[in-house]
Amino acid sequence: MSVIMVLLNVLSYIFLNVGINDQWYYLIPAVLTLFGLWGVFRKCGLTPWHVLIPYVRNVRLGEAAGMEKEGRIMGFLSVLTSLVNIAGLFVSNSGSTVSSILDIAGIFLFLLLLVYQIRVYMGLTEVFNRKKPWIILWVLFEWIPAIIWGWFKEYQPLWKASELKNSAANFFSGSKAEVMDQGLTVNLEERTARDFFKTKYLLRDIHMYIQPGHMVLLLGGSGAGKTTYLNAVNGYEKAKAEVILNGRNMYKEYKDMMYDIGFVPQQDLMRGSDSVYRTLMDAATLRLPSDFTHAEREARVEEVMEIFGLTPVKNNLVVKLSGGQRKRLSIAMEFLSNPSLFILDEPDSGLDGVMARELFLQLRQIADQGKIIIVITHTPDRVIDLFDDVIVLAKDANRTGRLAWFGPIDEARAFFGKDSMEEIVKAVNREEEGGEGRADEFIMKYAEKAGNMNAEVQHV
Residues 181 and 82 reside in one and the same domain: no
CATH number for position 393: 3.40.50.300
pLDDT at 163 (0 to 100):
60
Residues 207 and 120 reside in one and the same domain: no
Residues 301 and 447 reside in one and the same domain: yes
Residues 239 and 295 reside in one and the same domain: yes
Residues 355 and 420 reside in one and the same domain: yes
For residue 246, name the pLDDT band (cuts at 50, 70, 90): very high
Does the pLDDT of residue 310 top 50, yes or no? yes
Does the pLDDT of residue 166 top 60, yes or no? no
Final residue belonging to a domain, choices 160, 181, 209: 160
The CB-side HSE value for 255 (13 A sphere, CA atoms) comes to 0
Residues 95 and 76 reside in one and the same domain: yes
Does the pLDDT of residue 8 top 50, yes or no? no
Does the pLDDT of residue 378 top 80, yes or no? yes
Percentage of the chain exceeding pLDDT 90: 23
pLDDT at 23 (0 to 100):
53
pLDDT at 170 (0 to 100):
58
- 3-class secondary structure per residue, the chain: CHHHHHHHHHHHHHHHHHCCCHHHHHHHHHHHHHHHHHHHHHHCCCCHHHHHCHHHHHHHHHHHCCCHHHHHHHHHHHHHHHHHHHHHHHHCCCCCHHHHHHHHHHHHHHHHHHHHHHHHHHHHHHHCCCCCCHHHHHHHCCHHHHHHHHHCCCCCCCCCHHHHHCCHHHCCCCCCCCCCCCCEEEEEEEEEEEECCEEEEEEEEEEEEECCCCEEEEEECCCCCHHHHHHHHCCCCCCEEEEEECCEECCCCHHHHHHHEEEECCCCCCCCCCEHHHHHHHHHHHHCCCCCCHHHHHHHHHHHHHHCCCHHHCCCEHHHCCHHHHHHHHHHHHHCCCCCEEEEECCCCCCCHHHHHHHHHHHHHHHCCCCEEEEECCCHHHCHHHCCEEEEEEECCCCCEEEEEEEEHHHHHHHHCCCCHHHHHHHHCCHHHCCCCCHHHHHHHHHHHHHHHHHHHHHC
Residues 274 and 408 reside in one and the same domain: yes
Does the pLDDT of residue 159 top 80, yes or no? no
Structural domain span for residue 16: 2-160
Q: How far apart are CA 414 and CA 22, in angstroms?
A: 67
pLDDT, average across residues 186-199: 78
Lowest mean pLDDT among 93-102, 124-133, 341-350, 360-369: 93-102
Residues 219 and 154 reside in one and the same domain: no
Residues 142 and 228 reside in one and the same domain: no
Final residue belonging to a domain, choices 106, 128, 160: 160
Residues 155 and 172 reside in one and the same domain: no
pLDDT, average across residues 44-57: 87
C-alpha distances in Å from residue 46, one per residue of 35, 42, 64, 156, 412: 14, 6, 8, 14, 37
Q: What is the pTM of this model?
A: 0.70
Final residue belonging to a domain, choices 138, 160, 182: 160
Residues 16 and 36 reside in one and the same domain: yes
Residues 137 and 153 reside in one and the same domain: yes
- Domain tally for the chain? 2
